[in-house]
């Protein structure tokens, strides 16, 4: 996906503050943080939405990344929130599947 901003971040064609990387996944700081810590976890391979991921290894690696980031940033004790906005009703703006990881403070309750 040559015009996808998150593909460009994954390929390091665009700068971002990378906080984690393995063979299939990168995580980086959100440009417009909504909490003291706001990371985005993405597969390097382009999938439009979470519904398009057909490779269980990618899902495994995403959850492995969550655990490793939680340890690395010392948020495993107090916790964090994961959010996936999917398509229009979910409020997805960037059409490269990503998981928001929010932490570092007591997060406000929104819907749930």
What positions carry a catalytic annotation? 98
Closer CB to Zn ion, 97 or 103, in the complex: 97
Q: Contact region for Zn ion (CB under 5 A) — 4-12, 19-27, 55-63, 103-111?
A: 4-12
Q: What is the 3-state secondary structure (H, E, C) of 36-81?
A: CEEEEEEECCCCCCHHHCCCHHHHHHHHHHHHHHHHHCCCCCCCEE
Residues 6+ away with beta carbon under 8 Å from 35: 102, 103, 104, 105, 107
Q: Contact region for ligand 5GP (CB under 6 A) — 42-50, 69-77, 84-92, 104-112?
A: 84-92
Among 29, 38, 46, 81, binds Zn ion (CB under 5 A): 46
**Least distance (Å) between residue 65 CB and ligand 5GP:** 16
E strand or H helix that includes residue 28: strand 25-29
Tell me if 45 contacts Zn ion by CB under 5 A: no
List contacts with ligand 5GP (CB under 6 A): 5, 16, 28-32, 40, 85, 91-94
- Binding residues for Zn ion, rule: CB under 5 A, are 1, 4, 6-7, 46, 96
């Amino acid at each position: 996906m040559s015009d996808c901003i998150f593909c460009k971040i994954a390929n390091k064609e665009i700068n971002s503050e990378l906080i984690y990387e393995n063979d299939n996944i990168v995580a980086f700081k959100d440009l417009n943080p909504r909490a003291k810590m706001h990371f985005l976890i993405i597969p390097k391979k382009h999938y439009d939405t979470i519904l398009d991921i057909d490779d269980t290894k990618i899902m495994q690696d995403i959850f492995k990344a969550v655990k490793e980031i939680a340890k690395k940033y010392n948020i495993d004790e107090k916790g964090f929130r994961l959010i996936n906005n999917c398509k229009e009703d979910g409020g997805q703006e960037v059409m490269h599947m990503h998981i928001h990881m929010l932490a570092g403070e007591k997060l406000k309750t929104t819907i749930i």
